[in-house]
Amino acid sequence: MVAIIGSDARPGENRDRAHADSLHLVAVDGAGRGAVVGIPRDAYTDIPGRSRNQVNASLALGGPDLASDTLEHLTGLDLDGYVITGFEGFGKLIGILGGVEVDVPFAIADKAAKAYLDAGRQILDGAQALAFSRARKTIPGGDFTRQAHGGLVIKGAVAMLKLRGPLALPGIMEQSEPWITTNLSAEELLTFALGAIDLDLGSVENQVVPGRAVTIDGKSVVQLTDGAADLFADLADGALEVTEG
């Protein structure tokens, strides 16, 4: 299970010391099953060695290792590693893949995210995929829906890897190296990518950890609800039970 962290760092900023803009856990069970789970960036939690704060602050406060430790503390799950990229890197990675196919669930016109997309299945380039993954102010569900959209992009990226095939992986990894920070070795990253290629994407659930917006000490945060613990327990085996509908 790997944490995929989108850093809020703009071009020229340190992606490893900015707030996390998006947080996903991507699980592969080694038997063709897996899951993508989005974690609300404002989820209020204990940050090891620090005070309670939004989970996305952990990257800015202590870098990738603290962010990973915080996610493990929040979820109770053991992570195999993390992959971090920033805004510029995200676009570059999508470009390296040749774009991603996403079924956009509804039309989006979000000026803040520069997201202007029609509903329906389409190929998104790097800029469009980033905008789709960041739009929140004008869409129902706000940040929760935004996290679900990020999961759709991740699944689209896996679909593109499957289309390119295993022989393309070394070249993709080499081109991607400047745009990511990871604690996975090249061998571990390749093994994870091969596991992703083997996924039956139709059975891969894309879910967002449930929570509700509350105010604590004058700060707007997300308090995870009881269903979060059940979701994390379900994810421990590397997959989620497929929901109906």
Q: Is 200 contained in some domain?
A: yes
Q: Is 240 contained in some domain?
A: no
Q: Is 242 contained in some domain?
A: no
The confidence score (pLDDT) of residue 244 equals 52
The confidence score (pLDDT) of residue 149 equals 98
Model pTM above 0.85? yes
Q: Is 230 contained in some domain?
A: yes
Q: Is 91 contained in some domain?
A: yes
Domain span at residue 22 reads 2-235
Can you point out the beta strands (E) in the chain? 2-7, 20-28, 34-38, 44-46, 52-54, 81-85, 100-104, 108-110, 115-117, 120-124, 181-182, 205-208, 211-216, 219-224
Q: What is the pLDDT of residues 95-116, one digit of tens each?
A: 999 999 999 999 999 999 999 9
Q: What is the pLDDT of residues 195-236, one digit of tens each?
A: 999 999 999 999 999 999 999 988 899 999 989 999 999 999
The confidence score (pLDDT) of residue 242 equals 67
Number of domains in the chain: 1
CATH number at residue 39: 3.40.630.190
Q: Is 74 contained in some domain?
A: yes
Q: Is 241 contained in some domain?
A: no
Which residues does the chain have with pLDDT short of 50?
245
The confidence score (pLDDT) of residue 11 equals 83
The confidence score (pLDDT) of residue 196 equals 93
Q: Is 22 contained in some domain?
A: yes
